[in-house]
């Protein structure tokens, strides 16, 4: 298939059924018990400082592990698997002094995922597999001060954030992703920089790819970390005409449901959700069993509020398998037609009807 054929197949599949995303990468990598040598490989043997914990680097140093995880999630029933590039920007990789490796991480991460998706599509042509280029949050925010005594203080500029995302999305595109997934968004302004970086690719001759935007509601307040409600967040990013809008991380399915229902009410595009396996226990572990997560997400599907489902922190291929089995045959959410109106957003939404 050409990339345009894959995008057409993705959109057709989304109309026909609820699509399934993969689950957590962090928990699966942790289970491998990797040591410093695994992260260094041959290329970074003499790099100063610790590299263990830099999971994105495994795209270069242990591609066999990354390929196997894609295979596990596709085998479990995932239609879409993310690249292992959640923190692969120059800003995030600066913690490890690995800025120079950013392009290679993203390029190789996309290639590994593409190869796995193509293998599974060849094996099961009735169920094509797709690759989402994972674009995670940064460890620096544009919307919030870095100093409680100085509201205007920032440790990064918009231009720096834009440039970091631009480098990432170029490499992901060249590596063969089918869509971009800007995920775990805590700061909407950071997200808007990523959106612009993607949209500007067209000016350089890159073919346009669908954009999936996934925010994070940090607690029971129902707001992102930068303070927006769900509807305000949607109003802030809808200009990108995303393929899908949704939420992931921070909350389990039980606490996330009302916010997904709100998105389903206001968004005139696909709604996606991939919650954590509940909330972490005192040891930082997730105790929610696969059948428990799947049961809650099945109810969401039955209620007609979702188009794409998957898992975030604590979820495994077994969670994804249960979710895929439980929602099989259920109809995807019908996209509503909303009346024309002026819709703005600060921390709260504002709507002025005709």
Question: Based on the structure, what is the number of domains in the chain?
Answer: 1
Helices (H), 35-97: 36-40, 58-61, 63-76, 90-93
Please write the tens of the pLDDT for every residue from 138-191.
Answer: 999 998 888 888 888 899 999 999 999 999 999 999 999 999 999 999 999 999
**Structure confidence at residue 289 as a pLDDT band (50, 70, 90):** very high
The answer to whether residue 219 scores a pLDDT higher than 90 is no
pTM of this prediction? 0.96
Q: Which residues contact 152 (CB under 8 A, 6 or more apart)?
A: 145
Closest C-alpha to 312, from 140, 134, 171: 134
295 marked as binding residue: no
Q: Which domain holds residue 31?
A: 3-353
**Contact 223/236 with Cβ under 8 angstroms?**
no
Please write the tens of the pLDDT for every residue from 299-312.
Answer: 999 999 999 999 99
Please write the tens of the pLDDT for every residue from 16-54.
Answer: 999 999 999 999 999 999 999 999 999 999 999 999 999
Least confident of 229-243, 274-288, 289-303: 274-288
**Structure confidence at residue 234 as a pLDDT band (50, 70, 90):** very high
191 marked as binding residue: no
The answer to whether residue 284 scores a pLDDT higher than 90 is no
- Mean pLDDT for the stretch of residues 92-105: 97
Pull the structure tokens for residue 70: 């894609």
Which CATH number characterizes residue 97's domain? Answer: 3.20.20.330
């Amino acid at each position: 298939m050409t990339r345009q054929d894959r995008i057409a197949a993705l959109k057709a599949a989304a109309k026909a059924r609820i699509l399934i995303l993969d689950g957590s990468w962090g928990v699966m990598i942790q289970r491998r018990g990797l040591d410093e040598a695994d992260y260094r490989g041959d290329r970074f043997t003499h790099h100063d400082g610790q590299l263990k914990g830099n999971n994105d680097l495994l795209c270069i140093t242990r591609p066999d592990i990354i390929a196997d995880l894609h295979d596990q999630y596709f085998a479990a029933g995932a239609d879409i698997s993310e690249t292992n590039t959640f923190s692969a920007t120059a800003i995030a990789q600066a913690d490890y002094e690995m800025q120079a490796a950013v392009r290679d991480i993203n390029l190789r991460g996309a290639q590994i995922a593409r190869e796995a998706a193509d293998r599974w599509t060849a094996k099961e042509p009735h169920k094509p597999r797709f690759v989402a280029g994972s674009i995670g949050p940064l460890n620096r925010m544009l919307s919030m001060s870095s100093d409680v005594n100085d509201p205007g203080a920032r440790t990064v500029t918009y231009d720096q954030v834009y440039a970091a995302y631009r480098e990432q999305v170029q490499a992901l595109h060249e590596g063969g992703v089918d869509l971009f997934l800007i995920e775990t968004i805590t700061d909407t302004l950071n997200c808007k920089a990523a959106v612009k970086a993607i949209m500007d690719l067209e000016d350089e001759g890159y073919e346009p790819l669908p954009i999936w935007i996934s925010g994070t509601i940090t607690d029971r307040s129902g707001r992102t970390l930068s303070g927006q409600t769900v509807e305000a967040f949607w109003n802030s990013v809808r200009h990108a005409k995303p393929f899908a809008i949704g939420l992931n991380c921070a909350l389990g399915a039980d606490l996330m449901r009302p916010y997904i229902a709100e998105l389903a009410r206001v968004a005139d595009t696909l709604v996606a959700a991939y919650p954590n396996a509940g909330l972490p226990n005192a040891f930082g572990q997730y105790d929610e069993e696969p059948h428990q997560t799947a049961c809650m997400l099945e109810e969401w599907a039955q209620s007609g509020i979702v188009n794409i489902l998957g898992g975030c922190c604590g979820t495994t291929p077994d969670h994804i398998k249960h979710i895929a089995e439980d929602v099989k045959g259920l109809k995807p959410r019908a996209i509503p037609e909303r009346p024309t109106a002026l819709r703005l957003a600060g921390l709260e939404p504002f709507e002025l009807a005709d």
